[in-house]
Amino acid sequence: MAGGPSTPALAAAVSDAGGLGFLAAGYLTAEALGSQIDEFRKLTDAPFGVNLFLGAGTPERDLSAYVRRLQPEAERYGATLGTPDWADDDHYPAKLDLLVGRPVPVVSFTFGCPAAEDVRRLQAVGTEVLITVTTPAEAATATAAGADALVVQGFEAGGHRGAFIDQQDLPGGGPLYGLLAALRLIAGTTDLPLIAAGGLVHGADIAAVLAGGAVAAQLGTAFLRCPEAGTQPAQRKALAAADRDTDLTRAFSGRPARGLVNRFMDENSAEAPSAYPQIHQITRPLRAAAAKQQDPEAMSLWAGQTYSLAPELPAAELIARLTAECGDALLKATRRIGM
């Protein structure tokens, strides 16, 4: 969970409790990622993963109409809008080199399919490679690139959709599959192990995706209220209040992402162009100013559809609870069918 919520402390607590914690490398330089890996390793020897962003190379386009639209919003928060950088590659080559030089157990990708050569470089140093997919077609491409396993993300998921290409004419950037439908369809196109993500917040949800053929479940939103997470106070408050719907929007970043609906989304989602990470760069000072003022109405409050059920618990307690709930749900389901 790039942008603050993921911390080495959260990843270490998850890995220590028997999960697989992830460090979010998105938006970080290679140097900052290296420091986070060091920090994680000081906390635990347990295995962990690093998540990388792909998807550079959006064709340059005129964003001035959207920038003009956001100007009064920036003034409202005393912020100056950022400048779009069309050459931004999220430091991908440098971070890949770092991970090849200092291997970690698992690397996952989102926003695209890495080159087969990049996958091979990581595997050659003993790293398992996961690729996030949202459709059967993406699953076929990721399988051909040599992934060890796929993260299947349903439309319920909080945060950005991992779709390889953002199609401007579709609100979700591509076809929107619910998690169980995606799992079933993708299992028909690949033999790779599948990890299910999207809207899983209770152990019974994990039981459901394991029964549906996934080998593991990936949860994001469920951990946002953990004390180890770096979630902003205003976002914690909005999550706890549980009085907002979630929706997909390009308004903050130029790529579809699911978050709690607020004024900024209401006013700008319909006009927001597909231009990632340029819209992210333009809105960054505005979002930071809103966060500083503890105003949730212009912050990106990324969260999945079931966020209202995410408990405020230390990560280890949350994992223990999810595990117990999952075992219980599987037993009950087995009994229900008379086995």
Ligand X SMILES: Cc1cc2nc3c(=O)[nH]c(=O)nc-3n(C[C@H](O)[C@H](O)[C@H](O)COP(=O)(O)O)c2cc1C
Q: How far apart are CA 61 and CA 277, in angstroms?
A: 12
- The site map against ligand X for 237-276 (x = CB under 6 A) is ----------------------------------------
Q: Which is nearer to ligand X, 67 or 288 (CB)?
A: 288
C-alpha 182 chain-centroid distance: 17
Check if the beta carbon of residue 223 is closer than 8 Å to that of residue 318.
Answer: yes
Kindly identify the residues of this chain, within the stretch 40-69, that bind ligand X according to CB under 6 A.
51
Q: Which is nearer to ligand X, 146 or 158 (CB)?
A: 158
Q: Which is nearer to ligand X, 74 or 173 (CB)?
A: 173
Q: Interface with ligand X by CB under 6 A: which range of 93-101, 141-149, 195-203, 270-278?
A: 195-203
Encoding tokens for residue 302?
Answer: 């990324």
Q: Which is nearer to ligand X, 82 or 277 (CB)?
A: 277
Q: Which is nearer to ligand X, 1 or 145 (CB)?
A: 1
- The site map against ligand X for 113-142 (x = CB under 6 A) is -------------------x----------
Query: DSSP of 254-312, one letter per residue?
Result: SS-EEEE--HHHHHHGGG----TTHHHHHHHHHHHHHHHTT-GGGS--B--TTGGG---
- For residue 223, the 8-state DSSP code is G
Q: Interface with ligand X by CB under 6 A: which range of 97-105, 116-124, 149-157, 331-339?
A: 149-157
Kindly state the number of chain residues that form the binding site for ligand X, as judged by CB under 6 A.
27
Question: Which amino acid does the sequence have at 94?
Answer: A
Report the run of H or E that residue 12 belongs to, with start and end. helix 8-16
C-alpha 23 chain-centroid distance: 11
- The site map against ligand X for 158-177 (x = CB under 6 A) is xxx-x---------------
